[in-house]
Amino acid sequence: MNDKSVLIIGNSDGIGLALTKRLLSLGWQVVGLSKSPSPLADESYRHIVANVIDDVFCQQLTNEVTTTPDMVVYCAGIGEAFDLTAIESERMAFEVNLMGAVKTFEVVLPKLIANKRGHIIVLSSLADVLISAEAPSYSASKAALSSYVEGLALAVRQYGVAITNVRFGFVATKMAKGARQPFMMSVDEAVDHLVRCIRKQPVRYSRPRLMAVIVLLVSWFVRVRLTLSGRPR
């Protein structure tokens, strides 16, 4: 992995920060981007302060990232419980989780295709199959993200570019909310899985596997109930 370059978006804390540290230790040249300053200081690291929801994000990314990285990792994400008194947070989930990634693709994907190589990793969620009353915008934005990323992966692989959709369950970061957090994964374990994705470049990578199966079954049950509830009597 030495001497390769990566752009990591959403890396001032959590999985993004841990991945940055890991790749720096492996000899990567890293450019990080987040809306907050970075706590890191390393000769192989450069940080960009930018917000993926801003109208000028695409132009800022174009101006700041002038050389094409070998890999791009989109870690930015938010998720809050549904609150009717703060309904604007529903739109924000789509702006960050989905549209921020779409904007990133708009800038970096043509460059990777022109080079006929490169790898994009996007952090989605096992919640992408759920219909959730507790966090509808989070599940729905991740569902759209996963569908788009995997479809895009199939569309661009003929050009030598790999795209990986990573679907984690609960990871011990500030994003992990709720009274029940089964199969909790540490940040270091999550990064171990990401390093595996860097090597293998799958289109979809879901962990923990057992939780992925359980979530899929729960989703199927809820959808059946919703379908049956709409049948005429």
Q: Which residue has the tokens 């990634």?
A: 101
The dihedral over CA atoms of 135, 76, 22, 41, expressed in degrees to the nearest 10, equals -130
Amino acid occupying residue 50: A
Domain 5-229: CATH superfamily is NAD(P)-binding Rossmann-like Domain (3.40.50.720)
pLDDT confidence of residue 49: 97
**Backbone torsions φ then ψ of 155, nearest 5 degrees:** -75, -35
The number of residues making up the chain comes to 233
Are 175 and 131 within 8 A, CB to CB?
A: no
Tens digit of each residue's pLDDT (9 = 90 or more) over 124-139: 999 999 999 999 999 9
Q: Which residue has the tokens 């992995």?
A: 1
Nearest to 94 by CA among 156, 172, 148, 163: 148
The dihedral over CA atoms of 98, 103, 104, 110, expressed in degrees to the nearest 10, equals 130
Where exactly are the structural domains of the chain? Answer: 5-229
Cα-to-chain-centroid distance, residue 5: 18
**How far apart, in whole angstroms, are the C-alpha atoms of residue 139 and residue 78?**
11
Round to the nearest angstrom and report the end-to-end CA distance of the chain.
62
pLDDT confidence of residue 1: 47
Cα-to-chain-centroid distance, residue 12: 14
Q: Which residue has the tokens 């759920």?
A: 130
| Cβ within 8 Å of residue 131, ≥6 positions away | 139, 219, 222, 223, 226
Q: Is the pLDDT of residue 63 over 70?
A: yes
pLDDT confidence of residue 149: 98
Tens digit of each residue's pLDDT (9 = 90 or more) over 84-127: 998 988 999 999 999 999 999 999 999 999 999 999 999 999 99
Q: Is the pLDDT of residue 176 over 70?
A: no
**How far apart, in whole angstroms, are the C-alpha atoms of residue 101 and residue 155?**
16
